[in-house]
Amino acid sequence: MESLKSITQRSAKSIRNYLQFQFQFEILKLHSKAPPNEEFLTQLQQAFIASEETISKFVKSCKWTQIAGDDEQNIGLASLRKEYDFNEVLIIDQDLNVLFSVAKNNDFGTNLKIDLSETHFTKSCIQAIDTARPVFSDLEFYEPSDAIVSFVIQGLINDSDEVIGLIAFQIDSHKFNETMADKISLGHAGEAYLVGSDFLMRSNPNPTDKISPVLNPDNKVKTELLQVWFQKHVNNINSFLKSPTSVAEITEDQVKTDILEYEGRGGYPVVGFAHHLQVVGVPMAVITEKPAAEVFATARSQRRISGYTMAVTILIVSMAAITITQRFATPMRKLSAWAIKVSDGDLIIRDIETPDNEIGLLNQSFQHMARSLQEEKIKNEQDRWLKTGYANLTESMRSQNSLADLSHSVITHLTRYFGAQVGALYITEPSGGLTLMGSYAIEIPMKKQRWNRVKVWLDKQQSNGKPWW
């Protein structure tokens, strides 16, 4: 249970950290008030108005090329797109004319109010102009890009603190899938995914699916867990939107939704945990689920392993925050991936190359921990084998009244439990001989059911290389 909860919190933190990297609000504010961006937009606006042409014709004109074709600002926006791995960077005026595009997609040279009025993107642009705050459009199928994407939109501000236009950054939905997949390991049957307030999925827990469930109305997820999350968080969305800080940051709710057992989206019982995210005013839930039978069967071992995993994860995160360099990042990522594998019960010891410093000591400690867990697992399996065999043997002997029946039950159970093909049970007599009391899968001749000089005969048979029977 705690392992599932920690995985959910870790995955929510991964999504939050990824989005915070993409939506670095201080950097967005710098771009919103950067004189080159303001001047660039102003030149395009003035030239567009003076041309008296439609927006689609203007962006193909010589005047547009003269302003934006080889301009340093063009190069700067292209570099910004590459640095943050955006799909697209757009410059839009107050009337929602797309005056500039790095990728030159089909929305370049359009008026969003006229051509794309029903999109989340257009509505978010209007909100960004009205509020002068950053806005996240949420995921949607965006026809000009022929893909499921989202946008973060920031107003361009002049010296009088007036919004004169917008700069918009497009993010591919695959980034959400990649971020979830990189950080989460729930085994073969477990799932982790993002869901919006409309109960539609924002990430695909199974990338190999032929038909993606992302924003698919046929895959709406209205489980008991999501109903609880919706009532606790989304019904209060208006209070979030009225807060001056909630639409300018990515936050996690401090009151987490409890773990529940319920019928999952696949139609079978699962144990799940929800973690609330508020992404620039847009509510989302990070959901992790595992089959209930698997969770309850492994709860005890998962608690112990997750304790080790969380300890290692805390050390990794703490050290990574201090030394963010490529030299440290690679071994730290490998150790983190190993920690997650250990939490899933994979106790194979891996040889990870680490520098001769604190990370190297951490690697050694982790190898020692994995080795100890291996030894404990082997010992537990041996103890369980012995105890199970003893219990089954006792049970097979319980209802037998005669010595013959008892002997037959004992040799039958032992032969099968040891995986042998045949077996025979002899008892010793006061004279030192042996008497056959029971056998399994073999018929012992009458003359060999009793032996008087046992040791002499066995020595002779062994020296001749013959079987005793």
* Per-residue pLDDT tens over the stretch 314-341: 766 665 555 555 566 677 777 777 778 7
Structure confidence by residue, pLDDT tens digits, 154-198: 898 888 888 999 999 998 888 777 776 654 556 677 888 889 999
Task: Give the domains, in start order, of the chain with CATH numbers.
Answer: 33-172 (3.30.450.20), 186-297 (3.30.450), 300-383 (no CATH), 399-464 (no CATH)
Token representation of residue 372: 């100890």
- So what's the pLDDT on residue 108? 94
Q: CA separation (Å) from 179 to 96, 306, 342?
A: 32, 21, 20
- So what's the pLDDT on residue 184? 53
- So what's the pLDDT on residue 375? 83
pTM over 0.85? The answer is: no
Half-sphere exposure of 275 (CA within 13 A, CB side): 21
Find the mean pLDDT for residues 195-224.
88
Token representation of residue 91: 């410059």
Whose tokens are 């997820």? That residue is: 221
Q: Is the pLDDT of residue 258 over 70?
A: no
Find the mean pLDDT for residues 133-146.
91
